[in-house]
Amino acid sequence: MKIIILGGGFAGLKLANCLSNKEGIEILLIDRNNYHQFQPLFYQVATAGLDASNISFPLRKAFQESKNTSFRLAEVKEIQAASNKVLTDIGEFTYDILVIATGADTNFFGNTQLKEACFPMKSTVEAIQLRHRLIQNFEDALSTKDAAELQKLMNIVVVGGGPTGVEVSGALAEMRNNILPKDYPELDFKQMHIYLVEGSPKTLGNMSEKSSEQSRKYLEKLGVTVQTGTVVKSYDGDIATLSTGETIGAKIVIWAAGITGNVPAGIDSSLIVRGNRIKVDRTNKIIGSENMYALGDIAYMETPLYPHGHPQVANVAINQGKNLAQNLLQIQKGSEQKLTAFEYHDKGSMATVGRNLAVVDIPKPKIHFGGWLAWIVWMLLHLVLILGVKNKLQIFINWVYKYFTYDQSLRLLYHNFYKKKHGTQ
């Protein structure tokens, strides 16, 4: 059975690992990056809390002990389902089984101006670019004489009050409160404003009321201005205009307001639903297909517990990858009647706001807790999920160092990289 997996994220990697060294199976993993990215910690790279290498793991290293797994660094151009081919920028590949696990990208909801001017945070490279821009802005602020320009350089707007928006807002507030005044004593950081703008009535809308209320309280305690029921209508690189009519001068707007699936060309458009997700059955097989599957953020599956599709989180992707691996082994044995229908059993959700500030919801039994204990649980879970012993150790050491010193040591600005990406002088 020749299996091609598109994407080395949580779903694709779990599937490949579960099928590694299984007799009669040949796996080809294709990704446009040669590393797995741990997306939940992008915001810590962006705010100089972790180095990019701490949350990345080489895909080839992940399969050094696998005798049946190959990797190709390539960009997928098109899927030709009729001939069982995947066309890429390095050639074409044939398959018996195709698994699409291409994940999701930032959703700007069709607003090209916002797409051009805002900073997304859906890849390691984007997180590094944001970090560079943050540091460069403070360097520029030192030589700015114009008061209005100085205020724009100091202000930051975060769009989206989900876990990513809440976490990056909290991290930025802690930088402002504890670190930046020591790095830039010439600047008055009482004048630095961090705005979190959320279109719905509350932050962490998918979590419990208690978590929403607590997260907002934590953010405001750190000095973040939270504006719910508000949308950013436009942003030109200098001025963000809100749905209330208010304008905010800011050189940085971070977009964390939604995601959209990365659907490869060649997929029947009638199978693509809201959020750019592909309709699949209970075994993750693409509707109407015989040998094509979709996993994780890209997959839209209706089940009794989730009639509108599963949440686009890492745990769903990992469990779908595991379930599909078991089903493919049954298909290989000719036991298709033994296939297992997927259902996600939510073990809980969590978000961190800052030092000793986090919220956790557990559905069964229904438990909510916040503060220091929730923060410890959040850290332990993320350490478990990170790939590589070295990465786990480095992240743990960084977190311990930051906890006791209130500092980070990664505020580095690589000028050539920054100039290449932003055209600065």
- 307 domain-assigned: yes
- 133 domain-assigned: yes
Q: Which residue has the higher pLDDT, 409 or 197?
A: 197
Q: Is the pLDDT of residue 236 over 70?
A: yes
Is there a single domain that holds both residue 228 and residue 366? yes
Is there a single domain that holds both residue 312 and residue 270? yes
Q: Is the pLDDT of residue 191 over 70?
A: yes
Is there a single domain that holds both residue 231 and residue 287? no
CA 148 from centroid of its chain's CA atoms: 33
pLDDT at 201: 95
Question: Residue 32 — pLDDT band, cuts 50, 70, 90?
Answer: very high
Is there a single domain that holds both residue 213 and residue 246? yes
Q: What is the mean pLDDT of residues 16-45?
A: 95
Question: Residue 11 — pLDDT band, cuts 50, 70, 90?
Answer: very high
Q: Is the pLDDT of residue 412 over 90?
A: no
- 45 domain-assigned: no
Domain final residue pick, 310, 338, 366: 338
What's the predicted TM-score (pTM) here?
0.91
Q: What is the mean pLDDT of residues 384-391?
A: 89
Q: How far apart are CA 131 and CA 152, in angstroms?
A: 17
pLDDT at 282: 96
CATH of the domain at 228: 3.50.50.100
Q: At what angle do helices 124-142 and 147-154 cross, to 10 degrees?
A: 150
- 192 domain-assigned: yes
Task: Determine contact, residues 101/321, Cβ cutoff 8 Å.
Answer: yes
Task: Determine contact, residues 234/116, Cβ cutoff 8 Å.
Answer: no
Q: Is the pLDDT of residue 34 over 90?
A: yes
- 238 domain-assigned: yes
Q: Is the pLDDT of residue 422 over 80?
A: no
pLDDT at 388: 87
Q: How far apart are CA 312 and CA 259, in angstroms?
A: 9
Map the chain to HEC letters: CEEEEECCCHHHHHHHHHHCCCCCCEEEEEECCCEEECHHHHHHHHCCCCCHHHHEEEHHHHCCCCCCEEEEECCEEEEEHHHCEEEECCEEEECCEEEECCCEEECCCCCHHHHHHCECCCCHHHHHHHHHHHHHHHHHHHCCCCHHHHHHHHCEEEECCCHHHHHHHHHHHHHHHHHHHHHCCCCCHHHCCEEEEECCCCCCCCCCHHHHHHHHHHHHHHCEEEEECCCEEEECCCEEEECCCCEEECCEEEECCCEEECCCCCCCHHHEECCCEEEECCCCEECCCCCEEECHHHEECCCCCCCCCCCCCHHHHHHHHHHHHHHHHHHHHCCHHHCCCCCCCCCCEEEEEECCEEEEEECCCCEEEECHHHHHHHHHHHHHHCCCHHHHHHHHHHHHHHHHHCCCCCCCCCHHHHHHHHCCC
Is there a single domain that holds both residue 275 and residue 401? no
Most trustworthy range by pLDDT among 232-246, 327-341, 383-397: 232-246
Q: In the chain, how many domains are there?
A: 2
Residue pLDDT, tens place only, 121-138: 999 999 999 999 999 999
CATH of the domain at 11: 3.50.50.60
pLDDT at 307: 93
- 69 domain-assigned: no
Is there a single domain that holds both residue 288 and residue 382? no
Q: What is the mean pLDDT of residues 171-189?
A: 95
Among candidate residues 13, 41, 1, the one with its CA nearest the CA of residue 102: 13
Residue pLDDT, tens place only, 249-267: 999 999 999 899 999 999 9
- 349 domain-assigned: no
Domain final residue pick, 290, 312, 338: 338
Is there a single domain that holds both residue 175 and residue 280? no
Is there a single domain that holds both residue 302 and residue 269? yes
pLDDT at 420: 47
Is there a single domain that holds both residue 328 and residue 368? no
Is there a single domain that holds both residue 193 and residue 232? yes
Residue pLDDT, tens place only, 61-72: 999 999 999 999
Is there a single domain that holds both residue 372 and residue 328? no
Residue pLDDT, tens place only, 79-106: 999 999 999 999 999 999 999 999 999 9
Is there a single domain that holds both residue 243 and residue 380? yes
pLDDT at 419: 52
Mean pLDDT of the chain: 93
- 41 domain-assigned: no
Q: Strand pairing partners for 35? A: 58
Residue pLDDT, tens place only, 142-163: 999 999 999 999 999 999 999 9
Domain final residue pick, 311, 338, 365: 338
pLDDT at 416: 55
Range of the domain at 263: 2-32+74-106+259-338
